[in-house]
Amino acid sequence: MSQLQKSWQARISEATDAIAQEFVESMSYDWRLYKVDVAGSIAHATMLAKVGLITDADRDAIVKGLKEIEAEIDRDGPKWAGFKPELEDIHMCVESALTERIGEPGRKLHTGRSRNDQVATDLVLWICDTTHSLGRNEFDAITRAFVDLADRNRDIVMPSFTHLQRAQPISAGAEALTWASAFINALQRFYAPWMAKSVEWPLGAGAIAGTSLPIDRSESLWLVEQRAGILAHDEIDVSRSSIESTATRDIACDFLFALAMTAQWLSRWAEQWIIYMTTEFGFIRIADRYTTSSSMMPQKRNPDMLELIRGRCGNVYGDLFALMTILKGLPIGYNRDLQEDKRIVFRAYDTVSSCLTMAAAIVNSASFDKERIEPTLDRGFLDATSLAEYLVTKGIPFRTAHHIVGTLVARCEREGMHKLGQLSVDAFNEVIASSLAHAKSDATIRVTDEVYSCLGAHNVVKRYQSAGAAGGKPFEEQLKAWKERLGL
């Protein structure tokens, strides 16, 4: 049999049409599975030797040959001479090169397995490796960038927004930590399937029904677990059904969902900062190297990198739905449609990975513009909730206090005032007395000049006490915890 013949060629009488051959090949993109393909094959060969299906000498030749092939691909990448389109995919390219190199032992490697369980195994291992890599690299970088931004801007007070209307004053550092928290939570979604033990080990499931040979699937799993960075023990078990384990792509869907959620948070952050960079807001400045200008309007400073991050979120959503749509109509068992999973998964991963890297670079260049923010703090009655809560400490029920402050805000607007602190103590007490009498509450409650201590954005931020609050001691505790966690 020619080394370039396909593994199934004996059954088919005609050579594959050139157009069809080009149509079915996946090697052009699945070559990036080579490390996990080698790892799975080494584990499989080691297991075969242990159960006596191949000799120790066969195993040693296979392992040596596979490691040599891995080193060559490390060096040459997609230009490795062993990547031959007529062999269709990474699995056959590696096996063919191995057999050319070591002869008969190479033909024994596929004992007790099919490309169906082999590709499913490679996908499990690649997703696991990639998840760990994302945590160590891209997510770590963006989290550090936001925590550093929080530290640099811890003393700046700014408005927060609900309904895109001014809400309560916050520390700018607290908003930065919000994004750090969001991305850490996004990272946890990648680990969720492993923690839930919903990922199963497919190697040895064969084409669909298993094998009559006495293989030990637990042994191959254990051997792969020894590979640094692959899996933590007790997070994965041998699949319960050989039929299901070659047909499922649940782990790919889970991975894509985690990527889509990460893209969502990237898009929301980008949108926020695009708004903050407008002339109307002017809250954030980023380095010019992450902006562009206009071909017609020379004054423009456009946040194109942020806009592209926002836009690419839609591509990742599309990838998630693409795989879900492919899967929805497949009968149980392997179908060639599943070859498309890797094209989709790799594309979504590449998009999110590059966006995370770009986002971290932007954040590292950014600063909140205190000179632009500070003059705006007296607009929008940001201290209204603080005043209501102060009245609660005086014994006024919150709903009554809420009504009192709403009345005071309306009075300010009628009288041309733009902040509650412009009202006199007598004005406060007049509205308090009227509201308490109407509510049939304790009508003797009054305030003194102390009321002004809860007014003004800076005073409000200092008064926050609840865990996780966006200012005061809770924010400082959050920042300290983040810095300790990241070793900053």
pLDDT tens for each residue of the chain, 488 residues long: 444 455 545 444 455 577 887 888 888 889 999 999 999 999 999 999 999 999 999 999 999 999 999 999 999 999 999 999 889 899 999 999 999 999 999 999 999 999 999 999 999 999 999 999 999 999 999 999 999 999 999 999 999 999 999 999 999 999 999 999 999 999 999 999 988 889 999 999 999 999 999 999 999 998 888 765 555 555 788 999 999 999 999 999 999 999 999 999 999 999 999 999 999 999 999 999 999 988 899 888 899 999 999 999 999 999 999 999 999 999 999 999 999 999 999 999 999 999 999 999 999 999 999 999 999 999 999 999 999 999 999 999 999 999 999 999 999 999 999 999 999 999 999 999 999 988 777 788 999 999 999 999 999 999 999 999 999 999 999 999 999 999 98
Q: Please report the pLDDT score of residue 5 as a whole number.
A: 54
List, in order of start, the domains of the chain with CATH numbers: 9-111 (1.10.275.10), 120-158+169-189+240-375 (1.20.200.10), 377-486 (1.10.40.30)
Q: Please report the pLDDT score of residue 231 as a whole number.
A: 52
Pair of tokens at residue 131:
């998840």
Q: Please report the pLDDT score of residue 426 as a whole number.
A: 96
Total Cβ atoms within 10 A of residue 156:
19
Q: Which residues are CB-contacts of 383 (< 8 A; sequence separation ≥ 6)?
A: 169, 419, 420, 421, 454, 455, 456, 457, 459, 460
Catalytic residues: 163, 294
For helices 172-195 and 250-276, the axis angle rounded to 10 degrees is 170
End-to-end CA distance of the chain: 60
Radius of gyration of the chain (CA): 31
The bridge status of strand 157-162 relative to strand 165-171 is: antiparallel
Pair of tokens at residue 284:
């954030």
> How far, CA to CA in Å, does 254 sit from each of 122, 189, 233, 263, 383?
16, 8, 20, 14, 43
Q: Do residues 187 and 161 touch, judged by C-beta distance below 8 A?
A: no
Q: Where are the alpha helices (DSSP H) in 277-303?
A: none
pTM of the model: 0.92
Ramachandran assignment for 487, one of left (phi > 0), alpha (psi -120 to 50 degrees), beta (any other): left
CA pair distance 457, 178, nearest whole angstrom:
19
Pair of tokens at residue 262:
């990460």
The bridge status of strand 165-171 relative to strand 367-368 is: unpaired
CA pair distance 307, 300, nearest whole angstrom:
15
> How far, CA to CA in Å, does 62 sit from each of 97, 105, 228, 371?
11, 7, 21, 67
Q: Please report the pLDDT score of residue 256 as a whole number.
A: 98
The bridge status of strand 367-368 relative to strand 237-238 is: unpaired
Exposed / middle / buried, residue 449 (Cβ in 10 Å: 0-12, 13-18, 19+)? exposed
What is the phi/psi pair of residue 414, to 5°? -65, -35
Q: Please report the pLDDT score of residue 14 as a whole number.
A: 54
Q: Please report the pLDDT score of residue 42 as a whole number.
A: 96
Q: Please report the pLDDT score of residue 12 as a whole number.
A: 47
Pair of tokens at residue 79:
């230009």
**Virtual CA dihedral for 90, 94, 99, 102, nearest 10 degrees?**
180
The DSSP result for 369-412, as a single string, is -HHHHGGGTTSS-TTHHHHHHHHHHTT--HHHHHHHHHHHHHHH
Residue with tokens 């959620």: 261
- For 370-401, letters b (16+ CB in 10 Å) and e give eebbeebbbebbbbbbbbbbbbeeeebeeebb
Q: Do residues 428 and 408 touch, judged by C-beta distance below 8 A?
A: yes
Q: Please report the pLDDT score of residue 299 as a whole number.
A: 87
Q: Which residues are CB-contacts of 247 (< 8 A; sequence separation ≥ 6)?
A: 208, 330, 332, 333, 334, 335, 338
Please name every residue paired with 165 in a beta bridge, in sequence order, or none if there are none: 162
In 3-state terms, what secondary structure has residue 206? coil
Q: Please report the pLDDT score of residue 91 as a whole number.
A: 95
CA pair distance 140, 239, nearest whole angstrom:
32
Nearest Cα to 127, choosing from 242, 248, 214, 278? 248
Q: Please report the pLDDT score of residue 85 as a whole number.
A: 85
